[in-house]
Structure 1
Amino acid sequence: MLKRTFLGRVVLAGVMALSLAGNALAADSQVAVFAGGCFWSTQKAFDHVKGVTNTRAGFMGGSVKSPSYDDVVRGGTGHVEAVEVTYDPDKVSYQQLLDTFWHSTDPTNPRGVICDLGDNYRTAVFTFSDAQYNTAVASKQAVGKQLNKPIYTLVVKSTQTGLPFYPAEAYHQHYWQTHSDHYDRYVIGCGRPGALKKLWGDQAPKY
C-alpha cells in the first residue's frame, strides 16, 4: 500500500488538479498523468508514442508545494514521481496511453518499481474526467487478470481544484535523451529491460 501521506492526501481528499497555470492546452488536446516509478523511464515511454504532443516529468499526489527532486527523494512530501502527458485524442486514445503505461512499468510491486523502491516510486494513474477514471479502472482490472497478480497501482480521481502537478527541474526533463550515457547505465544497472521482458513478454518496450 501507499504511505498514509499519499493515501490520505490523495485518495481520501480527492483534491487534485491539472498542471500549473500558464500552460494552456490546444483546444483539441487532453492531459493525462501517470506515475510509473522513475520518471526518466516513464517519460521515455511516452515520448515514443505517436499522438503525444508533450511530456513533462514531475511530481504529484502530495501536499508540499513546488517540491524539489531532493525533497521528494528524501520522503515525507506525499508526492510520487510522475509524467504529465499532453496528447491529441484524435491520434491516440487514452486506452493506448494506458497500455503504454502498464507495459513500461511493474504495477505488481507495492514498494516501487524494479530497483527503484520507496514512497516516491509508487505507481498511480491520475485521472481528470469520469471517462478517464472508468477506463483506467477497467484497464487495471484487465491487467490484473492478464498477469494473474494483484495490481497495486492507485487510480485517482483528480477532478477537483486542489494540489497540482509540479514539473521537475529542467535537468530531469527528457533525461533519456539529454543524459543518455548516464541513463543507459542506470537502466542496465537496474535490470529494467529484463524485468519488464519477464513480466510482459513481447509487450515490453522494444526501444
Structure 2
Amino acid sequence: MKTLNTFKPILLTILIATAFWIKGHEVNAAEPQTLTVAGGCFWCVEADFEKVNGVIGAVSGYTGGQIANPTYKQVTRGGTGHYEAVQITFDPDTISRASLMDMFLRSVDPTDAGGQFCDRGDSYRTAIFVSGQSEKTLAKKAVAAAQAELGQTIVTPILPASPFYLAEDYHQDYYKGRSLVLTRAGPKSQATAYKFYREACGRDARVKELWGKTLG
C-alpha cells in the first residue's frame, strides 16, 4: 500500500503533464484552410488534388458568376459567368497554399484562354480565386514562377473569391463513382467513364507536352 501511495503523485504528475502537452498541440495545430481554383473539368481537378498529401478533401462546384445556386446545365450553357471550380480543403501544417497554387498551374494549360483541352467555353476557363492581399500576392508569385518556367504568357486570371455553390451530388467524386452511366462507348461505371473521358480529352497528354510532367 505504501508503494502504491508513493507512485500516485508521480502518476498524477505524468497525467497532468501529458494533458497539457496534448492541449498545447491542439492549440498550436493550424485550422484547415481552403483554396478555390478553376481548371476546366472539375472532375479532373478534384481527382488530381485529392491525391495530394496534406489535402483533406476537394469538392466540385461553381463560382465567379452572377446568379445564385446555378445548375450544371445553366453554367455549361453559358451566360451565368460561373466557372466549373473546385474548393480544396488542406492542412497548412502539411502543405502550403503557395505549393498548391504551383501544383495547380502545372496541372492545367494556363496558356489557353478559351477553355481547357477538349472542353471549350467560358465555364471551362482557368482561374485562381483569392481572399485578401496576402493570397493575391501568393497567386501572383505562382503565376510569375510558372510563366518564367514555361516561357509563355500565363492567361489564368487571379480573381476575388465569390460565393461557391456546390455542384450536383452526382458530380462529387465522379472519378471513383460506381453508378452506371451511358457513354458513347456504351454503359460504364462513373470511374471507367471518367478515365475514358480524361484520355479522350487529351488532358494528361497536353499537360505532359506543356510541362514535361503531370501532377503527382
Class of the TM-score when normalised by the shorter of the 2 chains = 0.7 to 0.9
* Moved >3 Å (runs of 4+): none
Larger radius of gyration: 2
Q: CA deviation at 1:34?
A: 0.5
Alignment of 1:24-39 (within 5 A): 28-39=31-42
Give the structure 2 partner of residue 18 of structure 1.
Answer: none
Q: CA deviation at 1:33?
A: 0.2
Alignment of 1:164-183 (within 5 A): 164-178=163-177, 179-183=190-194
TM-score by length of 2: 0.78
Q: 2:93 aligned with 1:93, yes or no?
A: no
Alignment of 1:188-203 (within 5 A): 188-202=199-213
AA aligned opposite 2:198: V
RMSD across aligned positions (CA) = 1.4
Whole-angstrom CA distance in 1 between matches of 2:66 and 2:158: 18
Whole-angstrom CA distance in 2 between matches of 1:54 and 1:184: 20
Q: Is the 8 A contact 1:32 1:128 kept in 2?
A: no
Match of residue 142, structure 1, among 132, 141, 145 = 145
Q: 2:69 aligned with 1:66, yes or no?
A: yes
Q: CA deviation at 1:96?
A: 1.4
Question: What is the percentage of aligned positions where both structures have the same residue?
Answer: 41
Alignment of 1:67-82 (within 5 A): 67-82=70-85
Q: CA deviation at 1:102?
A: 1.2
Give the structure 2 partner of residue 186 of structure 1.
Answer: 197
Q: CA deviation at 1:138?
A: 1.0
AA aligned opposite 1:90: D
Give the structure 2 partner of residue 19 of structure 1.
Answer: none
Match of residue 124, structure 2, among 121, 125, 129 = 121
Cα deviation digits, residues 65-123 of structure 1 (max 9, x gap): 10011110110000000000111100110111112211211110110111111010111
Q: 2:55 aligned with 1:46, yes or no?
A: no
Whole-angstrom CA distance in 2 between matches of 1:27 and 1:63: 33
Give the structure 1 partner of residue 114 of structure 2.
Answer: 111
Q: 1:27 to 1:141 in 2, by over 3 A?
A: closer
Whole-angstrom CA distance in 1 between matches of 2:65 and 2:76: 13
Whole-angstrom CA distance in 2 between matches of 1:151 and 1:73: 24
AA aligned opposite 2:212: G
Task: List alignment gaps of at least 5 residues for structure 2.
Answer: 1-28, 178-189
Task: List alignment gaps of at least 5 residues for structure 1.
Answer: 1-25
Whole-angstrom CA distance in 2 between matches of 1:32 and 1:38: 17
